[in-house]
Structure 1
């Protein structure tokens, strides 16, 4: 049995802390030179989304106009965040091709076509000190690959035959792993790619150990076991041998690096299974923790766990932000992290000491068999940026009276509030739910002024645990009804009541046209604009596949999709050839024979079918002054017609956020939001300086670059508007899908 107290080690390596502190004291104020480029997902390795450029100011930002755009020329929604190196911009388009653009002429330099399975959010750029070797490093189909950034050709000397298999080295049979690559690109530090994973959140998913690979050779240089092995720190916060079957505890979002100190900050996610943890009794380090590692060796420096024994899917996912704050007249280099459930925790960047008090407070126990909810949870003294309860008083006022009455009854029978454990006896209504709060891409900072900016949403989840039943060959009446319920709550909005399609394609007899692996990957990982539904268990997936006309016996095979060669300077196609598994093992589906485990397992759906359950605004941008520890301003963002009566083109502030921000040195905060909205706010007081409505939805991190003294803002506008949004692509003069580049009028 694990000890009944959380472990939050702040000074495990005393000598290392002394050296780091001494180095910090001798260090000059951090240079902003690295913030004048956008070569990483978040601009630079600190993921601050901060840009040092003086042309666009508060006074002239309202004059921004479209300078040029690059159409993607297909119907695929891309979530890709462009990076810019010198005069070259790298984007995705044209049937999932990686494209190099000359930002001076706006012409294509090269196209590497048909990179199906490439991580959706972006890629990494690395160059040697002499600038003779320039590479794009990315993950695709559970591998790491490299492309020559100048020629667009695959680097065959990388790894073995041009790739590294990410499935190897994570405590499972590699051939049994179906998914492991992260949805974010990782981060480059020196000659290392530091990378997390997205192994799924079902029972027996692979563990999410964080690894570093040499960008030249592909050799794994270090691994940090997020689920500790025997003898490692934190092993006693789990049951014996839990590392053999527990999964998750992964960094699926942004990794932040302090390049001056050589410290990587990991926002670590939840253990599996997210909502029932009878097989992982204990506080479960390093789940839901911010972990500071030596970026050169992977050794732990300090950590802090923000949720003990998580039962609510409260991953840490926004990038930890590096700031210099003024506390009581003393300048302190800090790291701040925001959570899905609305808290901000701030620490000394080197020692891990909290800069604002954190109190362990008691919360209700679980009534589920075998479950032991942790008796206390850490509560930050900083103001919370979300609501944490759904009540009759906070219910959406736009609901028709019949829906209100139905919800009043459900609320009477349900439980809602912070850290209420899920149950199989009643519904728990968590605010925020699985989507947050703040989530990936939703944090930014002005590093020198102690200001952190968050995009946040108030989207509830409704959970009710159900026992996992043994697999069945035929669909029972109850199973059919469950599938219909699942379809209506998660699929119907996009695919239609009759499955004939709408925003999404038709699903009529789709099982007869795709193999199970493709179907499974699309549901769990997402595809195009469709999000992933990682909590759908394997048996439900198979049942739904049969319901859609498929035969699960085909699940060990994949079709060879016919590649399409786009027009333009295509130099290669498909990346490197990956060797097929000679004998593919089934995915892990049971506890190892030599481990103790509960008799029963329980699962629940995401419970996201009511995104507008609470009153608007559903989405906001929030500015924290971490010098004083206060919320300085908050503004609603986005446009969502959900449940709003009257003119649907006006809507209400809100919408599910998977968007991004840019903070400039001139005090402007750019933000995208649902409904194709693009904003510029005054960083000091939140005043709206400029607003634009895009012709397409944006679901990617914006980018910024300078060229000959002129400043450019890049927006990926390639996603479709949802049915609950006004479709601005129908307006006269609407731009096609593509990357839209804004600048001030005139030449410079």
Structure 2
């Protein structure tokens, strides 16, 4: 961990910053995705306590349109709440009554998990900053109208400046909104996970002008630190190593903490031999300049898609009699790493332990991996017959015993083309985005986790085919059955969603790919589908990947009812330039003759014994787990039993930690809980009429405290459909508060 010259200057100010600022910080607003730039989900208020939380009642519901899924996490500024809904619109509503103030309609393609808020020091300039259709845009927070002086006539093209031809980039914006620090918005990206995907460099833009102020090369350029951890010139073709999730900022010190994901290709790294900095690394950078301060790589030369995705948590701990400002990050593969926030030194022991070599020709799995030895892991690391799901039928159990006997399982077993590897946890985790929170003053960290396996087997990359082979048809149909069938029906005839019969003939492949990966309208994005499956699915739906048509496609759109003040965001100019995505290594670069890929085969089946989803608390003063509770509900195996939790249910959920000792958490099946933060006791729970797929929010107005839950998604087939019960609430944002005291 090499420190920069900035580190020396920083240390001189530590004492003053710690004494004058740390103890006076408050977290009593929710103007950011995670509550504040620290992303702690910590909220200071006194009205809702352990003693009265069971009295929470629904104050009002802001009804949305009938979206299948809605992942948006509201932010609240003073008395205004900003939400997404009603035909892809952004709405400002009164946070006390739910009454609409304005609607900016037709924002299809907006980042679906949230937006950013910024205001000038005098409060006269108030802006909502967000990404939409691979651009960065700004809306006046008071009027709802696009600010056309921002960037180039109202937008910044995010495809520019990424070591690739911008015309060849199909997607770049992240599912997350980024984070505001001073007059900057710091953005990650989601460039894709295929060979030759763009790099995930982190960038900061001025919120007033749209000018890019700095860029941090997550795949280093020549002369930069970390360049020698890749093959020569790898930055010209390597991709990924992106922050697609949550960035945390120490606002007093001006340090941004970047949880960086895996480099591409995820499961085969012959063309990227080396440790591959800054992939799978927690990187501390100067939030004003982007200069690296320190880093720690949690997975070397990743071959398992073990991105760092949960928000790094900032807190003060008492370690060995000394008060230390710490940063902690939980991982997909079930570990918790804790560092001195300023120096990057580990606060608990981490050992580099040996792991198996790869049996693939040319592949060089890193010989060791860092394993925390003092803080206990929070999940399984292999699948054996002894821990298989006890609810399986005998036939299913025997099937898995036979399959496991032919496969390899265990932590850091490299993928192979000769046999399956059963990874536990798989690519969904473990802990994932939105799954961490903290009490920054007590040094307690809260983690949501799910026990979900992935099965991999490598196969050679073959030239694309228009005709569907038996293998391609199987791959496309498997993806369709797992991902699309719920909404579009078993025969593509339509169900909750529209018919998909020959839909591929209506879209160019690039458009189809963008819709699948980023989502559109009522449909969410599916970021982890591989290129081969996308191509096969497109052909299954009647498309021809070789068809090109540069004409614009116009979709009919109807504005929702209400105070619509604008539509469509800033108009994006189409310059007509199109280029095929990068498909081969640049001339003159050394590269392997053969490439391998792997299907992203998540075993949605609850493969091992329960609990499958749980929430837990770690005391990072001692490194001990304080408590652990299963949560969530599904219909496949649990039959309402609260002791087993829900399978595969936490990835889209979130928490709030209050200063009065409550952890609010939403779980699969429309469940919302209030846990005692000290011991995990359930103080209150309720079941919503619709599914929750977003981070909850909290705010106060005139001393009254409110909890808001986005319950605007449809239940999946493995959940009970509570929307059909008598007295069910409509889809929407459900706001809870305590009843007013009677005089």
Bucket of the pairwise TM-score, normalised by the shorter protein: over 0.9
1:37–1:85 Cα contact (<8 Å) kept: yes
Matches within 5 A, 1:539-554: 539-554=532-547
Counterpart in 1 of 2:424?
A: 431
Q: How far is 1:489 from its partner?
A: 4.5
| CA spacing shift, 1:313–1:528, aligned 2, 3 Å | farther
**Contact 2:358-2:364 at 8 Å conserved across structures:** yes
* Residue 587 of structure 2 corresponds to residue 573 of structure 1: no
Q: What's the offset of the Cα at 1:99? A: 0.3
Q: CA deviation at 1:401?
A: 0.6
- Corresponding residue for 1:286? 278
Correspondence for 2:733 among 707, 726, 739: 739
What does residue 523 of structure 1 align with?
516
Residues 1:535 and 1:136: Cα distance change in structure 2 (over 3 Å): closer
Change (3 A) 1:20 1:359: farther
Match of 1:176 among 165, 168, 171: 168
Per-residue CA deviation, residues 647-670 of structure 1 (Å, 9 max, x unaligned), is: 799985333221010000000000
In structure 1, distance between residues paired with 2:724 and 2:626: 38
Q: In 1, Cα distance between the equivalents of 2:620 and 2:14?
A: 21
Choose which of 655, 675, 681 in structure 2 pairs with 1:681: 675
What is the aligned partner in structure 1 of residue 2 from structure 2?
9
Q: Secondary structure at the match of 2:271?
A: coil
**Alpha-carbon distance in 2 for matches of 1:20, 1:691:** 45
Aligned equivalents of 1:547, 1:107: Cα separation in 2:
45
Match of 2:629, SS? strand
Q: 1:690 aligns with which of 669, 681, 684?
A: 684
Q: Structure 2 CA distance, aligned partners of 1:128 and 1:516?
A: 43
**Quick check: 577-586 or 163-172, which moved more?**
577-586
2:490 maps to which residue? 497
What's the CA shift string for 1:592-635, capped at 9, x where partnerless? 01111111111111211433111121110010100110110000
Residue 304 and residue 652 in structure 1: after superposition, are their counterparts in 2 closer, same or farther (change >3 A)? closer
Secondary structure in 2 aligned to 1:712? strand
CA contact (8 A) 1:636 1:654 kept: no
Q: Which residue of 2 aligns with 1:140?
A: 132
Q: CA deviation at 1:25?
A: 5.0
- Corresponding position of 1:226: 218
Decide which of 392, 404, 415 is 1:411's aligned counterpart.
404
Distance change in 2, residues 1:623/1:529 (3 Å): farther
Per-residue deviation, 1:524: 2.3
- The residue aligned with 1:162 is 154
How far apart in 1 are the matches of 2:706 and 2:739?
11
On the 8 A contact 2:313/2:437 being kept in 1, the answer is yes
| Offset at residue 139 of structure 1 (A) | 0.3
Q: Specify the SS of the correspondent of 1:175.
A: helix
Structure 2 vs 1, CA of residues 153 and 613 (structure 1 numbering), >3 Å: closer, same or farther?
same
Match of 2:439 in 1: 446
CA deviations 1:50-104 (Å, max 9, x no partner) are 0000000000000001011100133352211000000100001110100000123
Q: TM-score, normalised by structure 1?
A: 0.96
In structure 2, relative to structure 1, the CA distance for the partners of 1:316 and 1:606 (3 Å cut) is same
Q: Secondary structure at the match of 1:552?
A: coil
Cα distance between partner residues in 2 of 1:566 and 1:31 = 44
**Using the alignment, how far apart are the partners of 1:100 and 1:168 within structure 2?**
31
CA 1:264–1:375 in structure 2 vs 1: closer, same or farther (change >3 Å)?
A: same
Q: Quick one: distance in 2 between partners of 1:642 and 1:505?
A: 26
* 1:725 and 2:719 correspond: yes
For the residues of structure 2 that align with 1:652 and 1:383, how far apart are their CA atoms? 21
Give me the CA root mean square deviation.
1.9
Query: Could you tell me how far 1:508 is from its partner in structure 2?
Result: 2.7
Report deviation, 1:746.
1.1
For 1:297 and 1:39, how far apart are their aligned partners in 2? 23
What aligned pairs does 1:4-403 form with structure 2 within 5 A after superposition? 8-9=1-2, 13-24=6-17, 26-33=19-26, 35-381=27-373, 382-403=375-396
CA-CA distance at 1:473 after TM superposition: 3.4
Q: Any conservation in 2 of the 1:68–1:741 contact (CA below 8 Å)?
A: yes
- Show the counterpart of 2:457: 464
Inter-partner Cα distance in structure 2 for 1:482 and 1:259: 47
CA distance in 2: counterparts of 1:556 and 1:536, whole angstroms: 24
Q: Distance in 1 between matches of 2:587 and 2:682?
A: 60
> 1:616 aligned to 2:610?
yes
Structure 2 counterpart of 1:707: 701
* C-alpha distance in 2 between matches for 1:556 and 1:314: 38
Residue by residue over 1:568-596, the C-alpha shift from the partner in whole angstroms, topping out at 9 and shown as x without a partner, is 11110000111113221111111101111
CA distance in 2 between counterparts of 1:213 and 1:439 reads 26
Q: How many residues align?
A: 739
- 1:510 corresponds, among 484, 503, 512, to 503
The residue number in structure 2 matching 1:475 is 468
1:627 maps onto 2:593 in alignment: no
2-structure distance, mates of 1:556, 1:212: 34
Matched with 1:562 is 556
Aligned with 2:51: secondary structure?
Answer: coil
After TM superposition, give the deviation of residue 23 of structure 1 in Å. 4.1
Residues 60, 97 of structure 2: 8 Å contact kept = no
Q: Aligned equivalents of 2:710 and 2:478: distance in 1?
A: 34
Question: Greater shift after overlay, 199-208 or 528-537?
Answer: 528-537
Residue 181 of structure 1 deviates from its aligned partner by 0.7
476-485 or 246-255: bigger deviation: 476-485
Identify if the C-alpha distance between structure 1 residues 744 and 227 changes in structure 2 by more than 3 Å, giving closer, same or farther.
same
CA distance in 2, matches of 1:556, 1:624: 55
Question: How big is the shift at 1:22?
Answer: 4.4
- Alpha-carbon offset, residue 556 of structure 1: 5.0
Q: Distance in 1 between matches of 2:389 and 2:501?
A: 34
Q: SS at 2:539's partner residue?
A: helix
Distance 1:162 1:208 in 2: 24
Q: Is 729-738 or 487-496 further displaced after alignment?
A: 487-496
Distance 1:508 1:351 in 2: 57
How far apart are the structure 1 equivalents of 2:730 and 2:466? 47
CA displacement at 1:641 relative to structure 2: 1.8
**Does 2:668 match 1:671?**
no
Q: Write the deviation string for residues 4-45 of structure 1: whole angstroms up to 9, x where unpaired.
A: xxxx43567552343343444554433232x10000000000
Q: Give structure 1 stretches of 5+ with no counterpart.
A: 1-7
- 1:546-580: CA deviation from partner (whole Å, max 9, x where unpaired): 22122334455552112221111111000011111
Counterpart in the other structure of 2:648: 655
Normalised to the residue count of structure 2, the TM-score between the two structures is 0.96
